[in-house]
Amino acid sequence: MLRFLIRRALGAIVIILLLICLTYFAFFSLAVDPAQLACPPKSCTPELLAQIRSNMHLNLPIYQQFWNYLSGLFVGQDLGQLGHCAAPCFGYSYNSQRFVWDEISANYPATFVLAIGGAVVFLAIGVGLGMLSAWKQGTMLDRVASSISLIGQSTQIYFVGPLAMALFVYNLQWLGIPKYVPFTQDPVGCFTGMLLPWLVMSIIFWANYTRQVRSLMLEQLSEDHIRAARAKGMSNRYVWWRYALRGAMAPIITIFGIDLGSVFSGAIITEYTFSIQGLGFLAVKSVNNADLYLELGVLIFSSVAILLFNIVVDAAYALLDPRVRLA
């Protein structure tokens, strides 16, 4: 198990390095002059431009710039008058006048809470509806559960979000206006503030889980080992939870890992719908302002998040399925 994890981690490091390399060169050798972009258009003077160049070491050859950037990620970097950028240094965002890492670390907790909560909600609702469907297979309940999840998948967050806000916040006044409050500051406020975004974000994920869980459960229930377990005298409920669900879990975990990666790397639409200052928000802002360092930073950060979740899923998979453990 440890060797498996180490192997996966080493592989991930290689991928991350490649990724940084690729995005860096794509941004800085193909794109227009970064100094020009960083220079405020109205007050840009040749002196300022030169200063920006020297602060960001843009006078150096590109490979040296890349080396500076890469080493900066691990040991930090001196950016002239901008001061020392501590590791992990993703460079400087001229637009917000801050180091990129400060921007990211200010924004990712909101995304993190949104992603984790949303994932728990869509996993619970999706799997729940799927189990219900499988259990009451062929009945009205089965059809209702499948329809609900299908409707969820065909709607859009930017449609359901405002609708839910109008209903629950302004009309019924059950909830306050959704906002992110750090969990450590106010756990209850964090929960109530994020409840609506979680629910709305989860809607588009339901159908996938419902359908998968339903068919996986039905497939599992027709397996020989289910009949064998019942032949041993195990109760239906035991067989259902311990045998069938267990077998259905591994594929579900795989999809879950992929979805978790995607929500964590920034649920742009959800964040915009509910005005939550998260990574997705930051990503859009950086693109709008052509803030290259910020863009690059967000991109690398979210890729690393996806890779990490992939490793976690692989490890979970190995824990769940003993046949994978030795392979």
The residues of the shown chain that bind another protein, judged by CB under 8 A, are 223-225, 227-236, 243, 246-247, 320-323
In the complex with another protein, the residue whose CB is nearer, 14 or 327, is: 327
The one-letter code for the residue type at 211 is R
Residue 133, CA distances (Å) to 136, 211, 213, 217 in order? 5, 9, 9, 9
Residue 84's DSSP bridge partners are 78
The whole-angstrom separation of Cα 103 and Cα 105 is 6
* In the complex, minimum distance from the CB of residue 140 to another protein, in angstroms, rounded to a whole number: 15
The whole-angstrom separation of Cα 157 and Cα 203 is 8
In the complex with another protein, the residue whose CB is nearer, 105 or 235, is: 235
In the complex with another protein, the residue whose CB is nearer, 185 or 236, is: 236
**Burial readout 243-253 (b: 16 or more C-beta within 10 A, e: otherwise):** bbbebbbbebb
Q: Residue 26 has which token pair?
A: 């794509």
The whole-angstrom separation of Cα 94 and Cα 108 is 20
* In the complex, minimum distance from the CB of residue 135 to another protein, in angstroms, rounded to a whole number: 12
Could you tell me how many helices (H) and strands (E) the chain has, helices first?
Answer: 15, 4
In the complex with another protein, the residue whose CB is nearer, 115 or 217, is: 217
* In the complex, minimum distance from the CB of residue 210 to another protein, in angstroms, rounded to a whole number: 22
In the complex with another protein, the residue whose CB is nearer, 68 or 133, is: 133
In the complex with another protein, the residue whose CB is nearer, 7 or 246, is: 246
Q: Residue 143 has which token pair?
A: 């059809």
* In the complex, minimum distance from the CB of residue 321 to another protein, in angstroms, rounded to a whole number: 7
The whole-angstrom separation of Cα 25 and Cα 31 is 9
* In the complex, minimum distance from the CB of residue 166 to another protein, in angstroms, rounded to a whole number: 44
* In the complex, minimum distance from the CB of residue 152 to another protein, in angstroms, rounded to a whole number: 29
